């Protein structure tokens, strides 16, 4: 069954590549706007062996990790405050949803005006991309601690800080994981938006650079890299983590 799925996926990929190659061979479109799969493969190979892509990836991951780390920290603090205090939630909760609904790319001009064409600006956009979705999920997490757990803990003499750290925090872990996965996804998108308009280095910048020099093979190659990283991080790291936690917490 598992192998079967893998075979199907590989066959599908081969078919897509075949059709792509076919269209290329027919020569309907000019090579400059429609590169062949082999030239994209070559661009990928060269990019990695010459180190251009490696450097860009390193820079992108640096921005991402700093930004995501800050987003998780701010988002968690914000979410805990809103989750614990009804007053704070009633006052500011709605604005959090408003902030979350702003597409990250909208922050780019603001970031450039504040920090210039610097890596700071990129990180700033990444932080804004991840913070609000993290905060929303942590808020939900704190608010959905089963009352039954709190009652049981109370009868065992638990209250105050101990209640928070030994019951509410661990009970929140599944939602926290969802927050983490979404924060990653939003930050990743924000990162690309920020880097596209930055002065580099970074994967997004390399993409814009390839566009400037009309290197369609490199443009497609970088899009492939971005897609692969996104899929791997989501499927192999975050979704898996979330699923494991949910089943152990008895939610799945």
Partner 1 sequence: MFLELNNVGKTFKDKEQGEFEVFSDIDLSIEKKEFVSLLGPSGCGKSTLLSMVAGLEHATTGSMSLEGHEIKQAGPDRGMVFQQASLFPWLNVKDNVMFPLKSTMSKKEAEERADHFLKMVHLSRFKKHYTYELSGGMQQRVAIARALAMDPKVLLMDEPFGALDEQTRHILHDELIKVWQETQKTILFVTHSIQEAIKLSDRIIVMGTRPGRIIADFNVDIPRPRSRSDERVIQFEDEVMNLLKGEINKVLKEELTNEIEYSY
Figure out which of the listed residues 3, 148, 160, 161 binds partner 1, where binding follows CB under 8 A: 148
Number of other CB atoms surrounding residue 43 within 10 Å:
23
SS3 readout for 180-209: HHHHHHHHHHHHHHHHHCCCCCCHHHHHHH
> Least distance from C-beta 167 to partner 1, angstroms?
7
54 to 18, 59, 60, 175, 182: CA distances (angstroms): 28, 9, 10, 34, 26
| DSSP code, position 166 | I
Query: Exposure of 163 by Cβ count < 10 A (0-12 exposed, 13-18 middle, 19+ buried)?
Result: middle
Segment near partner 1 (CB under 8 A); pick from 25-33, 70-78, 87-95, 161-169? 161-169
d(Cα 194, Cα 208) in Å, to the nearest integer? Answer: 11
User: Could you tell me if residue 85 is left (phi over 0), alpha (psi between -120 and 50 degrees) or otherwise beta?
Assistant: beta
Contact code string over 33-52 relative to partner 1, x by CB under 8 A? --------------------
- Residue identified by tokens 């995501």 is 68
Is there a contact between 236 and 213 (Cβ–Cβ < 8 Å)? Answer: no
User: Is 151 among the residues that bind partner 1 (CB under 8 A)?
Assistant: yes
Of the candidates 70, 95, 183, 88, the one whose C-alpha atom is nearest the C-alpha of residue 143 is 88
User: Is 160 among the residues that bind partner 1 (CB under 8 A)?
Assistant: no
Nearer to partner 1, 28 or 156 (CB): 156
Residue 65, both tokens: 């990790």
> Least distance from C-beta 140 to partner 1, angstroms?
18
Segment near partner 1 (CB under 8 A); pick from 10-18, 53-61, 155-163, 215-223? 155-163
Figure out which of the listed residues 60, 171, 178, 218 binds partner 1, where binding follows CB under 8 A: 171
> Least distance from C-beta 80 to partner 1, angstroms?
18
Residues in contact with partner 1, counted by CB under 8 A, come to a total of: 21
Segment near partner 1 (CB under 8 A); pick from 124-132, 145-153, 211-219, 233-241? 145-153
> Least distance from C-beta 88 to partner 1, angstroms?
23
Nearer to partner 1, 195 or 242 (CB): 242
User: Is 158 among the residues that bind partner 1 (CB under 8 A)?
Assistant: yes
What lies within 8 Å, CB to CB, of 130 at 6+ separation is 67, 68, 71, 72, 75, 183, 184, 186, 187, 190
User: Is 152 among the residues that bind partner 1 (CB under 8 A)?
Assistant: yes
Contact code string over 182-201 relative to partner 1, x by CB under 8 A? --------------------
State the residues that interact with partner 1 by CB under 8 A.
146, 148-149, 151-158, 162, 166-167, 170-171, 173, 247-250
């Amino acid at each position: 069954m598992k192998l079967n799925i893998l075979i199907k996926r590989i066959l599908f990929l081969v078919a897509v590549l075949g059709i792509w190659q076919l269209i290329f061979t027919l020569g309907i479109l000019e090579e400059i706007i429609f590169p062949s799969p082999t030239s994209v493969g070559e661009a990928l190979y060269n990019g990695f062996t010459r180190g251009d892509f490696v450097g860009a990836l390193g820079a992108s991951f640096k921005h991402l990790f700093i930004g995501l780390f800050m987003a998780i920290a701010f988002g968690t603090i914000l979410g805990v405050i809103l989750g614990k205090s009804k007053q704070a939630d009633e006052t500011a909760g709605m604005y959090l949803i408003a902030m979350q609904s702003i597409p990250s790319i909208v922050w780019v001009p603001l970031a450039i005006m504040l920090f210039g064409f610097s890596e700071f600006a990129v990180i700033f956009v990444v932080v804004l991309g991840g913070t609000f979705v993290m905060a929303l999920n942590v808020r939900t997490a704190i608010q959905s601690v089963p009352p039954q757990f709190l009652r049981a803990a109370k009868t065992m003499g638990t209250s105050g800080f101990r209640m928070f750290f030994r019951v509410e925090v661990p009970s929140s872990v599944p939602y926290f994981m969802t927050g983490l996965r979404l924060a990653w996804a939003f930050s990743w998108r924000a990162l690309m938006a920020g880097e596209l308009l930055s002065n580099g280095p970074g994967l997004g910048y390399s993409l814009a650079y390839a566009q400037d020099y009309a290197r369609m093979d490199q443009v497609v190659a970088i899009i492939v890299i971005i897609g692969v990283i996104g899929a791997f991080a989501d499927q192999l790291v975050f979704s898996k983590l979330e699923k494991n936690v949910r089943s152990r917490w008895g939610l799945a």
